[in-house]
Structure 1
């Protein structure tokens, strides 16, 4: 839960420091500008708040790793993705997006700190403990932090601990570890299709290259 807070705080801080012009830069998410990604983070924060107040009595059906589903690679044409773009445009000014993310995002952060990690919650038809749910979101925050800085090299990246934990989760999903010659960031970017591997990297990945990218949803 501490890693959830650190990853989320770092991501929100990075957004808060962006100059207005950076909101028009492409993000690492196919078809989304940075402003669209930030709007998605507002929705993510709302989802966290909703899930943390949706208790469940049933036994857990997933954990922090099995929570993730493998989906088709995004093309930018999905109706929900298009809705995010329209919502982001409706804010008109980056300061309004920043304000909304700070407002809802801070509330989600406080709710996570106050939650009982052993309690069970329900989301997307699944049941899991609060601890597992928040651990799964470390991957969400870390990947989206990498998306945020994809074209913004001067913006601080995600915490090292979040990168390491997310890599471990991705390797568990993939069923194989990446070579230690890959940095945590490169393993995540290549593993989720955010960048293509070089010929040398593909050779080092071996059979694992044939299973990539892993699109998570």
Structure 2
């Protein structure tokens, strides 16, 4: 049974110099080990805060260092993206508009293969819209038994699965661990995709989590002691039978 460790950074504040300073160190440590992560980028915050160009340059730098760039989108209404004014709108119109907006921004850097939804929301309009935009995989699902957050638009799966939309296929890969679970608890364990002989662990954290010293140290330990980290795109390829790069 092959084991596979993938690392995802939900990247929302890369334009913040404090966040970038610590994220750059984590990414640099990965590169020195010959490892890679996937940055799921939510660009709209940088746009709203007038720092789009700065975010663009830093994402390009991470990509040049070998890390995968994917998309992360929150479905807030209008430009109110912070508490207490933010309102999540999961209507089909807003979901499609937000996806296209962030995809257009990221397409100046690359055409992202992967996606993760903000708040783990999987509304009915999400997967057909991702397929239409050409996405190959999604990491918005969580494992069965994960109960830290519960809302009617969450998707829980026991293992990865493939869904077909028109002529496109979308591979759905559950995100298995946050930093705390990955290091201290290992509650959910690896997920098995038995038909490929593969067990995997997909660990995520937010870039702004690194502003907390305990999270920064946890990420540092994870990078150095958590195995050979690969991107979520590489995990998707392995699950689809493409093997290891």
TM over 0.5: no
TM-score normalised to the size of structure 1?
0.29
Higher helix share goes to which structure? 1
Higher strand share goes to which structure? 2
Answer 1 or 2: higher relative contact order, Cα 8 Å, separation at least 6. 1
TM-score normalised to the size of structure 2?
0.27
